[in-house]
Structure 1
C-alpha cells in the first residue's frame, strides 16, 4: 500500500541530507535568537514590573504605556517598525554628529525586537508574581541585616519565581515560535531555510513538516526543563 510513496520518501531523505548543514545553521540561529531574546525580555520584564509597582507616578505611567502599546500592536508590525525605525533613527543621528554610518544587522534587530516585545508580557508575569510574595518577606530580610539587593536575590526572588514560572513558560513557548518572524528582515532562521530548501528541491511540504517537527521537539525539551524548574523552586519554597 505504501510502495508508491517509497520513491518520494527516498527523494526527500536525499534532499534532507543534502541541505543538512544549512538546516543545522537555521536551527542554531533560531536557538540563539530565542535565548538572547529571552534574556533581554527578562531584563525588560523585571524593570517593567518594578516600575509598575513603584511609588513614582512617572515610572508607573511609562510601564503602563509600554505594556499597553506592545499588547495592542501585532508582533509582525513591531518587527518592521523597530528594524526600520532603529536604522532610520541611527542614520539620522550619525549624520547629525558626522559619524561614520552604522548599520544594524538583522540578527541584532531581531533580538532587540523580540526582547522588547516579550518584555511587556514578562512585565505582567513578574508584577503578578511579586504581588503574590508576602510583603513581610522583604521586611524579614531587612531585619536579618540583608541589603535590599541581597533580600531580593536570596529571599524575594526564589519565592517570586515559584509564582512566575508558569507564566514565563507560556511566554517562552510563544517567543520560541515567534522567532519565525525574523525571516521577513532577511535572517536565515529555521523557517526561512526550510522554505529555501523546499523550493530548491521541490519538496516544500516535506521541509515545512520537518521544520514543524523541530519546533515540536524544542517545545517538548522546554516543557521538560520548565517542569524541573517548577519542582526545584517549589521545593526551595518549602524549606
Structure 2
C-alpha cells in the first residue's frame, strides 16, 4: 500500500495521459538505430579489416588513421561532430554541385553516426579474428586450388567466427547504449523521451527505472540470441583445436 501511494503506476499506461506508449516508441527508435548502426559498422569493419590486412600501404595508413581517431575521441564528441558538421558538409557539397540542401532525418543521421563509430571497433575485432585463423587451413585450401574468393567464403569467414563473435557481441551491446547519446542532438530515442516524461510528471524514479528495465530486457534477449549464435558457430571447434 505504501508503494502504491508513492508510485503512480498509471503514468505508464499506453494511452494518454500515460506515457507508456511514448516510452515504447522511443525504445523502438533506439532499437532501429542500434540495428542500423551496427549493420553499417559491421560492413565498414569487414572492409576495414581486409583493407588493413591485404590492402596497399596508402589504404592501410588511411584505415589506421580512421580507427585511431575514432577510438581516441570520446563518442559524445564524435556524435556531435558527425551529426552537425557532417550534415553541414553534405549540404555544402550538394550546394556546390548545384543541388539544393536536403533535410536529413534523425533516424538516418543516427544510424550513420553510430555506424561510423562501430566501424572502427569492428575493424579491429575482425582483423584480430582473421589473424587468429590457423595458417595451415588457408594453405591447405590454396593447395587444393581454391580461388581467393572461395577460400574467403569457405575457410576464412567460418573459421574466424568463433574468434569474432565475443567481440562483435560486445559491440552490439555498446551500440544499444550509444543510442542514448543521441539525446544530446534532440533525437527522440528512449533516453530523451524518458527525460521528457520525467520532467513533465516529476516522477523521475518511475520513468528512469522503466527505461532501465527496457534496456535490461534488450540486453537479456540479446545475450540469449548471441549465445545461440555462438554455440552454432563453435560446433566442432574444440575438436579442431
TM above 0.5, yes or no, is yes
1:5 alignment counterpart: 3
- Asked if structure 2 preserves the Cα contact closer than 8 Å seen for 1:40 and 1:112, the reply is yes
Please state whether the residue corresponding to 1:58 is helix, strand or coil.
helix
1:136-188 per-residue CA deviation (whole Å, 9 max, x = no partner) reads: 32333344454322321222111101001111111211111111011112211
1:14 alignment counterpart: 10
In the TM superposition, 1:50-89 aligns within 5 A as: 50-54=50-54, 56-89=56-89
In the TM superposition, 1:45-124 aligns within 5 A as: 45-54=45-54, 56-124=56-124
The Cα shift of 1:7 comes to 1.7
Normalised by the size of structure 2, how large is the TM-score? Answer: 0.92
> Structure 2: how far apart are the matches of 1:150 and 1:31?
35
Count of aligned residue pairs for this structure pair? 235
1:211 alignment counterpart: 211
> Structure 2: how far apart are the matches of 1:171 and 1:65?
20
RMSD, aligned CA: 1.6
In the TM superposition, 1:76-225 aligns within 5 A as: 76-225=76-225
* Structure 2 runs not aligned, ≥5 long: none
Normalised by the size of structure 1, how large is the TM-score? Answer: 0.92
- Structure 1 segments of 4 or more deviating over 4 A? none
Please state whether the residue corresponding to 1:78 is helix, strand or coil.
helix
> Structure 2: how far apart are the matches of 1:5 and 1:149?
63
